[in-house]
Amino acid sequence: MKRMIKNLILFLTLVLTMQGAFCYCLTYDNLNSLIKSKALAETKKLLPLNDVEIKVNIQGIPRENIITKDNLIPKVELINQESTFSPNSYKRVVIKDGNNNIVKILNINVQTLVYKNVLIANEQIPFNGEINNKNTILAKKEISKFLGNTYDSYISNSVAKRNFPKGSVILSNGVKEKSVIVKNSMVDIVFLSDKGLKIKLQGKALKEGAIGEAIPVRSNTYNKTYNAIVHSSSEVIVRI
């Protein structure tokens, strides 16, 4: 009896050993590293930017070893649910064995951090305050949520459309060109038609404005208000 039990134990040990020889163990660290690598490569395709540093954080991978039924390296597919870049996105991970059988499906969250040297406030810049190379510096910042809305060089002749605290990123949608026309100043109102007609009248700017900005002006001759485009520090254009 004892001999039978001993033989049975030996047999079961042999079977388990043989099964283990035909299995592959995918560890948490290996899977995490592989998914990060795939997510990073995918991000670089969506964001073909120069001089940036990209970091990827993965959440949702179980801290366990994944065992396949063969000894081939498993296939790990990263399925993206979105076609555009998002700092936080949900993706599906499909793990298959060497025979293309699905071993496990995971839903994960991918956090992508993009770092770049951009213009930031070196001191607090108040609303309507001038932005120049004295109150700003270029420094590396995480800009994942501000892509396409930052500056990578110093700017001039600009003012803030909002308050920028010290250390904050200067965003292009919070900046406007410095006004060249002062409110209540006298300007030349040039009326232009598509047929080449040009009429110039004297008038008053009812609002300050930068070049290319639309402001209301009133002609001295007709005492009528027009919507004009600032052309220079002394001239505005009205299309007729």
Residue 128's domain is classified under what CATH number?
3.90.1210.10
Cβ atoms of 85 and 39 within 8 Å: the answer is no
Higher pLDDT, 10 or 75: 75
- Report the 10 Å Cβ neighbour count for 41: 11
6, β-bridge pairs: none
Is residue 130 one of the residues assigned to a domain? yes
169, 212: one domain: no
Tokens 């052309």: give the residue. Answer: 231
Tell me the C-alpha distance between 196 and 70, whole Å. Answer: 81
Amino acid at 123: E
53, 87: one domain: yes
Quote the pLDDT of residue 20.
Answer: 44
Tell me the C-alpha distance between 157 and 211, whole Å. Answer: 11
Quote the pLDDT of residue 17.
Answer: 44
132, 89: one domain: yes
Tell me the C-alpha distance between 95 and 240, whole Å. Answer: 66
Is residue 63 one of the residues assigned to a domain? yes
Phi-psi region of 82 (alpha: psi -120 to 50; beta: other; left: phi over 0): beta
Name the phi and psi angles at 26, rounded to 5: -95, 110
Which residues make Cβ contacts (< 8 Å) with residue 29, sequence separation at least 6? none
Q: What percentage of the chain has pLDDT greater than the value 90?
A: 65
Which tokens is 164 given? 């920028």
Q: Per mean pLDDT, which range of 17-21, 135-139, 196-200 is the poorest?
A: 17-21
Cβ atoms of 168 and 162 within 8 Å: the answer is no
- Does the pTM surpass 0.75? The reply is no
Quote the pLDDT of residue 13.
Answer: 46
Single residue among 160, 177, 194 that ends a domain in this structure: 177
Which tokens is 64 given? 């366990």
Cβ atoms of 56 and 115 within 8 Å: the answer is no
Question: What mean pLDDT is predicted for residues 184-211?
Answer: 93
Looking at the predicted structure, is the pLDDT value of residue 5 above 60?
A: no
User: Domain total for the chain?
Assistant: 2
